[in-house]
Chains A and B, each alone.
Chain A
């Protein structure tokens, strides 16, 4: 207990002693966390927006005009039994006419004297099937039914969406990995400066019989504390930016930033992690 308490106190005092270099490390860690923190929010919201667009993807199934009510009911039943389908909406010719009127402002009966619009189903697929390959397979099965006149869906929309989602995902992962590596390197280098300024302590400790662990621990504790303080600073700045955006700038940028308490806790843990890894990495050179 003596030794643990001593090393903890040494780490804490080290933080107070380091002053400018310690403050510099805290700022570097805060900048790193802000980069990762905002990077995460932007990536999350981008992927959420893409997912949202994808969720609006529907497949329209047009029924032949000759189909009777029983045929339509049987087909409806068939759709209900398909595992891939999440929601089914039946649109009768009358409902289609209503929709036409709503969308185009004119009554179809005034134009043609009859209703040429066929009955149809609009189905939305479960999220895991909202991809080009599944949609094509499902459409081809439905198309084979004699009651089905045509199956329509926005194929190009799906192609573009899939292409961009993959690109976004890769970009997000690469940016995240790069930001994390940059954060660790920046943190480690700034802590290295702190340690460099006190390298005489390390050589003295080694001469008096201190183990590498004993020499290392105060610096690692100091680095971890710096990480925690950097995270607190970053948390305050992020909170401030979010507050200003949501309360004063939302009318300029139609975007509302939402983060939970868990997000701030995760940033704090990230700060501790960066300080811990950074200081361990930094001290290695001096042992």
Chain B
């Protein structure tokens, strides 16, 4: 009886001690460490990558490549930008970046006056190097250090040749571009026209559209009405391909047309996979990111001055739908 009592009491004591200890441990142990105070006294390069199209597959890859390279080179990099080609927001981000006196800016080129003003005057005033990536703006207009991205002229040529090989040296082709007339689109068009000019039997129709979805649909409708015997379409701006194909699909069979585009649109990959696009030009976004950061750091650390103003070109490949 007495022994049992003692055992019970000791057990009770042990249990109480145990729970008290456990809760005390939880209550006094602070496993949530505050972020360490910045220990890095040596200045790391602060780089910003600014794009107009955040969270699209193409630009995500550019960002990933850039971050990877930045980490490797010991620079800190942030990806800023606007969503869905919001130019106002994009330019504001660019201005903030300049006013924040970052060490270098990698930016998706925008062929507008305001962009050029910012890069030419503001950035130059603060002495911030700018590299355009993916989409170029000529050096004379933007004072960019260099361009990293595809050779858009070559890409245009390749796409035109792909189309010819699919369609044959005869037919009507619609080249649909947006009304922004951006530099990179002009380059693509130039490449395509160069190729098509050798084939007199291929007639090209050039059309422009505003880049809202409704406008694209309306323009496509017009084109289909005006040129009912069209054999193929090329969406020079990849972002309008989705709306365009949707309209074509409403009017007839998409498969009957030869449709080509580029990979830097938000819908490009899924359109290719579903077979609505017959082929497209695939660029190397990760490489662009990596290369641009690499070059910028080289420039900053005076390893490579000046940079090649003509730009550093990345690979372009043809991607065909598997049908």
The reply to whether chain A is a binding partner of chain B is no
Residues of A within 8 A of B (CB): none
